Amino acid sequence: MKYLIVGLGNIGNEYAHTRHNIGFDVVNAFVIKHGGQFRTDRHAYVADIRWKGKNFVCICPTTYMNLSGKAVKYWMDKEKIEPGNILVIVDEIALPLDKIRLRPSGSDAGHNGLKSLQESLGTQDYPRLRFGIGNDYPKGHQADYVLGKWKKEEEPLVKLKIEKSVEIIESFAAQGIALTMNQVNNQVYSL
């Protein structure tokens, strides 16, 4: 079995470890846990992981968020991976910081990265892990909030949720999406 694990984010130091780049941080944590290493390749940073007889192609697109679909489509086609074996990790302002949601499909909900994927893949039917980042920003300041760094007091919970997200990726591959959704979607994460 082969899986494409996609972390959405933007390249460049100014975006590192911002709320919008949580996808990069989760995929990076997964790769580190399994002893992998990223290389720069076509449209993405790519790492190959083998775990429990399964192959994972892990990518962090280098196309910037609003063109993420280009990288995902390229690696899907190159590695011959079906949409059901993709897992996209994405930030989600509609979810509070203490939540993670796993979904088999769904709309882009105004997220430019997911919008790009939907356009490139021609479908909304691919699994996504939505990492709640909350929406604690004044009206009209969504972009600043999303592209901003975590508050000091949020960092321990974010670290915990990154670890949980790595376990969700493993469970997604080992047990399938339905069982994993049952385990994680009603969880409230706290320290």
Over the stretch 34-90, which tens digit does the pLDDT of each residue have? 999 999 999 999 999 999 999 999 999 999 999 999 999 999 999 999 999 999 999
- Residues 135-148 have pLDDT tens digits of 999 999 999 999 99
20 flagged as catalytic: yes
Options 17, 20, 43, 111, the catalytic residue: 20
Is it true that domain 2-184 has CATH number 1.10.10.60?
Answer: no
Q: If you write DSSP's letter for every residue of 50-92 in order, what string do you get? A: EETTEEEEEEEESS-GGGHHHHHHHHHHHHT--GGGEEEEEEE
Q: Where are the domains of the chain?
A: 2-184
User: What pTM was computed for the model?
Assistant: 0.97
